Chains A and B, each alone.
Chain A
C-alpha cells in the first residue's frame, strides 16, 4: 500500500497553514489552533470548508476515552466545501491530486464519511451502500494510504483524521471516494446537512424501509436523525408518525417535521414504551426507527413493530461491542424484520444530488433543521447546545 507522504518534488506542492478546532483530550473544549494541512496525494482533494454542522457522532467520539477514539484529532464530518483555485506567489496551490477526474478547482463539494468508490462489487450493486474497497471504520487516517495523515500541528505532531472528513478545520483533505460534487447555487448551510444527518434519516425512510403511503411509523429519538426520518416518512405519505422521546419539548418541534403523535417514554407509568405503542397502534407499527443508539431501545422498537410485516430499522450508534438481544420465539414466529443501515442506505454520489433536487423543488424541507448559525470560533458553544439538547443543527461558518 502506498505510503502517501509528501513527495516534495513539485514546485507547486505546498502545505497550507490554517485554523482548526483540535480535540486534544476526551470531553474537553476544542482548542482553536493553527495547523498545517499537507497537499493532496493522488486520488485526493484539498478543500476549503465553507461551513460545517455538528452531529452527535462528533460528540460521541469526542467524549470517548477508548479506541476508536484517539487524540489529538480533528473532528467534524457534516460540511460543505470548495475546491479552491488559489494563486500564491504566481504558483497555483495544489487542490486536486493526481488521478482525480470527477472534480476540478472551483467545484463545490460535500464531503461524505460514507465512501463511494464506484468500483467495487458493493458500490456497483444496488443492494448495498457500503463500499468494500474502503470499508467503514472510525480510522485516525486517510482511507487509501496506510497510517497516513495530512494534518500536523505547529510542533510537527500528527493530528488524527475523523470519519474520512475532519471538517472542523478551515482546510481538509478528502479521498475522491468521499467527495460529492454539488450545485453551487444551493445555500451552504442547507446543503451541508445532506452530508450526514438529514440524508441518513430521509434515506432510512425512503430507501431502507421504503415506507409506503398510509403507513404507521414510530420514531424513537427525535434528534436530527429522528426528525429527518419523520421528514422522509412525511414525504412518503405515512399517515401516522409517532415520535418517542424523553423531552416533551420535542413534540412541538417534531410537528414541523410531520410527527403527529407523541409518546414521552419517561411518563409511561408502569408500562414499557413498546406496550404503549402496541396499544396505540392495535398491534404494532408498520415501521419502527431507532435513532438514539441504544440496544435496549432497539429491543423496545422490535417489540412494537407489528407481527407479520413489521420492520424495525436501526440507525443509532451504540457503544462498540454492544449487543442487541432478541427473543428467539419472537424472531421465528412473528415474521418481523430487523435491519440496520448507515447513511440511510444511500449511495453518496448517486443519492445526494437527488435529495438536493428535492430540496430545490420545495419538496424536501431543510431550513427547519438549522436552529443555530454561529462562527467557527464558537464551536465549543455549539457542543454545549447539542449536549444539552437545545439545538437540532447548529451550523458553523468559517471566516
Chain B
C-alpha cells in the first residue's frame, strides 16, 4: 500500500471522478487530474463514499452562487492519506482519515471553546473551492479546465485534496464503509440528540423525516433512554425501518386530514414532546416541529436545510411559554474531537452503524445510487472505489 502511495508525491495524479456537468443530469465518469496538496492540505485516496441528500440538493441546483459547474460532489467518505503538503502536522501517509465538510481550525475562539462547534475562522465560507486559496481548485478535467470542489470534500473521485481543518484521523479498526457514515448524516443526527438537545432518560422525542439523519437522531435518542420516539414520515415503510433505530410510534401526516401533525403529537404525548427534530428542510415542518413541543420546556432542533430559504414563522406566545429553538450543523459536534468518540462507541458496539447501509455499489454505478436515493427507498448507499 505504502509504495503505491509514494510514487505520486509532489506530482499530479490522473484518476477517475464522477463529474457533475449540468444540474440534475447524470454524473459523467471522467479521467481527471488531481494536483498535489499545497500548504495545510492533504491528498487522499478515497476508499469508499456514500450519498447524502445534500449532494442531491446541490446536484439539482441550477441557479444562484452555489450552483457551479463542472463540479465534483460527495462529502461523506473515508480515505487514506496519499501525500501531505507543507505545515501539515498530525497526518502522515497511510493514515485512515475522514474528510468532513464542517471545519475545525482548532485556533479560533469558537474552536477553543466547548460551547459550540462553530469555527469563526472558516465556517462562514462554504462556497470557496479550497479553504485557504479561495477559488483555486486542485481538480482539472482532460481539457485542463478547473473543476469546482464541493464543501471542501469532493469525495466522488478516486483522489481528492482536503484542508487539514476538514480532516479527521480515525482508527483503522473500524470497517471503512461504517466510518464513512460519520462524515455527515449519522454524526449530524446522533450529535443533535446527544450534544445539542442532550436528550435525557425518559424523554419524549418527535422526529420529522426518517431519512438517515432522522434515523440517526432516533438512534441517539434511543441510546440515551428516551421513553417515546415518534417518527413522522409520509412513507409508511419508514416505520418498520425506524423500529430498528428506536422509533416507538409513527405518524403519517397523509392519514390526518383534519388535524395538524403538532396536534396529533400533542395528543399522543399529553401536551407535547420534550424534544423535536426537523430533519427534512421545510419551513412548514420546522413550524410543526416547534408547535409539537411541550409548553415550559420544549426544545426544537433544526437539522434540515430549507432549499427555498423560506422563513420559519413562530408564534410569539408559544415561544414565550418556555420553548427553545436552535439549528445545528453536524449535530453540534467538533469533528476532530467527536468523530473518534463515535468510532469508539461503534467499536464497543454501543452505536449501530450497520443498519444505515441499505445498498452497496461500485463507484461507476454512482448514478444508480442517485436514483435509489430519489426513489426514497435507500438510507445509505455506499460506493466502493475498488470494487
CA distance A324 to B332 in the complex (A): 24
**A342:B321 contact, CB within 8 angstroms:** yes
Quote the shortest CB–CB distance from A27 to chain B (angstroms): 22
Quote the shortest CB–CB distance from B173 to chain A (angstroms): 32
**B319:A308 contact, CB within 8 angstroms:** no
Quote the shortest CB–CB distance from B323 to chain A (angstroms): 6
Quote the shortest CB–CB distance from B211 to chain A (angstroms): 15
Closest to B119 in A: A308
Q: B352 at interface (Cβ–Cβ under 8 A)? A: no
Closest to B314 in A: A324
Residues of B within 8 A of A307 (CB): 110, 118, 120, 123-124
Quote the shortest CB–CB distance from A24 to chain B (angstroms): 27
Q: B128 at interface (Cβ–Cβ under 8 A)? A: no
**B312:A309 contact, CB within 8 angstroms:** no
Q: A67 at interface (Cβ–Cβ under 8 A)? A: no
Residues of B within 8 A of A314 (CB): 316, 319-320
Q: B151 at interface (Cβ–Cβ under 8 A)? A: no
Given A328-B309, A342-B320, decide whether A337 and B325 contact each other with a Cβ distance below 8 A. Answer: yes
**Residue in contact with A129 in the complex, picked from B117, B296, B314, B327, CB distance below 8 Å:** B296
Residues of A within 8 A of B286 (CB): 328, 331
**Residue in contact with A325 in the complex, picked from B113, B297, B312, B325, CB distance below 8 Å:** B312
Residues of A within 8 A of B189 (CB): none
Residues of A within 8 A of B325 (CB): 326, 331, 337-339
Which among B77-85, B92-100, B229-237, B299-307 touches the partner chain?
B299-307
**Consensus secondary structure, chain B interface:** loop
Residues of B within 8 A of A129 (CB): 296, 322
Which among A38-46, A73-81, A130-138, A361-369 touches the partner chain?
A130-138
Per-residue 0/1 for B327-341: is the Cβ within 8 Å of any A Cβ (1 yes, 0 no)?
111001000000000
Given A327-B311, A335-B326, decide whether A308 and B306 contact each other with a Cβ distance below 8 A. Answer: no
Residues of A within 8 A of B27 (CB): none
Given A128-B322, A309-B115, decide whether A325 and B311 contact each other with a Cβ distance below 8 A. Answer: yes
The 9 closest A-B pairs by CB, nearest first: A308-B118, A128-B296, A130-B296, A328-B306, A340-B319, A128-B297, A340-B320, A331-B327, A127-B297
Q: Which residues of B pack against A, CB within 8 Å?
A: 110, 113, 115-118, 120, 123-124, 271, 274, 283, 286, 294-297, 302-306, 309-329, 332
A-B contact pairs, 5 of them (CB 8 A): A324-B314, A328-B311, A338-B324, A338-B325, A340-B318
Q: Which residues of A pack against B, CB within 8 Å?
A: 122, 125, 127-130, 132, 135-136, 283, 295, 298, 307-309, 314-315, 317-318, 320-342, 345
